[in-house]
Amino acid sequence: MFLIRLLTSSIPLLAINSAAVAQSPNVSIREIQRTVHRKPDSLGVRKTKPRNTKLSVTVFVRDSIGDSGLTRNCMLARGVASGMFATAGVHINWRTGQPKAYELGRPILIDITSNTPEEFHRGVLAYALVFEGDYIRVFYDRIKNPDRPYATVRLLAHVMVHEIAHILEGVDGHSEHGIMKSSWTPDDVVQLVYQPLTFDPEDVQLIRKGLALRDTAARIAPFDEFLHGSAPIE
């Protein structure tokens, strides 16, 4: 199981002011320079030349927390996340609700939850069942900032991208820089509001290799067999 944390010693006012920010411990990791001078576009994602081979994965998003703004925030976050994965040559087929048995391919389910007990994975924004390969839980109450909805959208997008990438890579390791760092610094959080964090080249290779293997396995066994653990991916 992978857990994502924010490294927060003194998050600037522009960044998210959430329970996770207040509770996360300091971790000694390398920081990257902030880029707050660049004005974000509507999605804040640079247009990049698509790769020759396009891979895709279906991701279901399920929520029932009764937050009036979540539907819009989630829709915008999916757009940002799609742009980030496009830089790796990966297309995300977004769906809502629960995957059905015999779903085409091997979809990923993201549960967006709230009212998280303080002691439950303290300071963590989300986790993925990396080796099971099909489930992510996002703690929306630790991401949402009512005063900064745009920042909420951007952080939600990055959390989803990070966790989806872990499942596609099939490993729980991390990179020194960018979206796949083990913890994000205050400068990282400022940057992601203006410009998306990026994948390291090694992560791009792992994502594409893992997704190709995932597609091959999904053609051998239907999705419900994965749910019942009878057709694991090695």
pLDDT in tens, 137-168: 999 999 999 999 999 999 999 999 999 999 99
CATH architecture of 2-6+16-23+46-227: 3-Layer(aba) Sandwich (3.40)
CB-hemisphere CA count at 13 Å for 177? 10
* pLDDT tens for each residue of 97-109: 988 877 777 899 9
Please answer whether residues 89 and 208 qualify as being in contact, where contact means their C-beta atoms are separated by less than 8 angstroms. yes
Q: Output the furthest CA–CA distance in the chain (Å, rounded).
A: 51
Strands (E), the chain: 2-6, 55-63, 90-96, 108-113, 124-128, 135-139, 183-184
Strand partners, 3: 127
pLDDT, the chain, mean: 77
The DSSP annotation for 2-43 comes to EEEEE--SS--TTS--SHHHHHPPP----------SSPP-SS
Residue 34's pLDDT band, with cuts at 50, 70 and 90, is very low
Query: Is pLDDT of 22 > 60?
Result: no
Residue 59 or residue 225, greater confidence: 59
Least confident of 59-68, 128-137, 206-215, 217-226: 217-226
Residue 128's pLDDT band, with cuts at 50, 70 and 90, is very high
The pLDDT of 25-45, averaged and rounded, is 34
- Each domain of the chain, given as residue ranges in start order, spans 2-6+16-23+46-227
